[in-house]
């Protein structure tokens, strides 16, 4: 989850998010290098008494500052495309979970075996217990087995919503009449929070998502109790 004075991304829970985190660091480093170089050159330009008013051509420097940015762009594009294709890899999921966006809550359906479905409403601030997170806690969390590939199918019953869990690098639009698929894989147990990410009305900010990643045996116990 997010924490106060956070500057970067949340800790990665899935392999894809880990890749994205490293790519973000890589791209940001390039941005900082270029910005500091430009700032330095500007400061040099503004603090010199030298002048040169007869410039006709500058073939060498023109070549350098054309080729070098092209190389830098390639250095950004290659890892980016690598991650893009990695996200589309074919994997065989072990479980399918459907989530439907409503105004203003999420509902979840686990229908591979028995019919298990429940709604997930935000806990109002007045009803929070000590230590719980404001605007993030829900009454029924989405319990899922960790270290397993899970197919998430996301849709909506009314308006556009978006199902997002930053720690897993997931954000998928919930569109009425359309079934969007994303793949979820958490490498460690824990609680992972997200919020609706598409404006959907007055309570758009008050329909969070909480994933509870647990070992498979706990998941089986939980699902047997919930059915």
Read off the DSSP letter of residue 102: E
- Compute the least distance from the CB of residue 155 to another protein, in Å: 6
* 127 makes contact with another protein (CB under 8 A): yes
170 scored as a contact of another protein (CB under 8 A): no
Contact between 227 and another protein per CB under 8 A: yes
**Residue 171 corresponds to which tokens in the numbers above?**
């954000």
Binding window for another protein (CB under 8 A); candidates: 67-75, 159-167, 196-204, 210-218: 210-218
Quick check: 187 and 13 in contact, CB under 8 A?
yes
Q: How far is the CB of 137 from another protein (least distance, A)?
A: 10
Give me the least distance between CB of 48 and another protein, in Å please. 55
The tokens for 61 are 């420097």
Token couple for 107: 């509902």
Cα gap 18→32, rounded to integer Å: 21
Residues in 67-96 at the binding interface with another protein, rule: CB under 8 A: 90-96
Query: Is 121 among the residues that bind another protein (CB under 8 A)?
Result: yes
CB-facing half-sphere around the CA of 185: CA atoms within 13 A: 15
| 98 near another protein (CB under 8 A) | yes
The answer on whether 207 is annotated among ligand-binding residues is yes
Q: Please, which residue, 33 or 179, has the CB nearer to another protein?
A: 179
Q: Are 163 and 101 in contact (CB under 8 A)?
A: yes
Q: Is 131 in the site for another protein (CB under 8 A)?
A: no
List of residues 6+ apart from 186 with CB closer than 8 A: 13, 14, 144, 146, 147, 168, 192, 211, 213
Alpha helices in 88-175 (DSSP H): none
List alpha helices for 88-215, DSSP H. Answer: none
For position 65 contacting another protein by CB under 8 A, the verdict is no
Q: Report the Cα 77 to chain-centroid distance in Å.
A: 19
Q: Which of residues 17-46 bind another protein (CB under 8 A)?
A: none
Binding site for another protein (CB under 8 A): 90-96, 98, 100, 109, 111-119, 121, 127, 139-141, 143, 151, 153, 155, 157-158, 172, 177-182, 212, 214, 218, 221-222, 225-227
Write out the binding residues: 161, 196, 198, 200, 204, 207
């Amino acid at each position: 989850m997010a924490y106060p004075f956070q500057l970067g991304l949340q800790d990665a829970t899935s392999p894809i998010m880990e890749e994205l985190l490293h790519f973000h660091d890589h791209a940001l480093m390039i941005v900082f290098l270029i910005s500091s170089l430009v700032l330095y050159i500007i400061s040099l330009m503004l603090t010199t008494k030298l002048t040169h008013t007869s410039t006709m051509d500058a073939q060498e420097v023109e070549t350098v500052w054309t080729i070098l940015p092209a190389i830098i762009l390639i250095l950004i594009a290659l890892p980016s495309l690598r991650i893009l294709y990695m996200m589309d890899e074919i994997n065989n999921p072990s479980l399918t979970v459907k989530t439907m966006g409503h105004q203003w809550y999420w509902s979840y359906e686990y229908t591979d075996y028995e019919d298990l479905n429940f709604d997930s409403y935000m806990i109002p601030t007045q009803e929070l217990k000590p230590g719980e997170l404001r605007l993030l806690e829900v009454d029924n969390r989405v319990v899922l087995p960790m270290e397993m590939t899970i197919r998430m199918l996301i849709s909506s019953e009314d308006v556009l919503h978006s199902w997002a869990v930053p720690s897993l690098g997931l954000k998928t639009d919930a569109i009425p009449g359309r079934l969007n698929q994303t793949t979820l894989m958490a490498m460690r147990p824990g609680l992972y929070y997200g919020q609706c990410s598409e404006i959907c009305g007055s309570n758009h900010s008050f329909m969070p998502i909480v994933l509870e990643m647990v070992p498979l045996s706990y998941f089986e116990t939980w699902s047997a109790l919930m059915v």
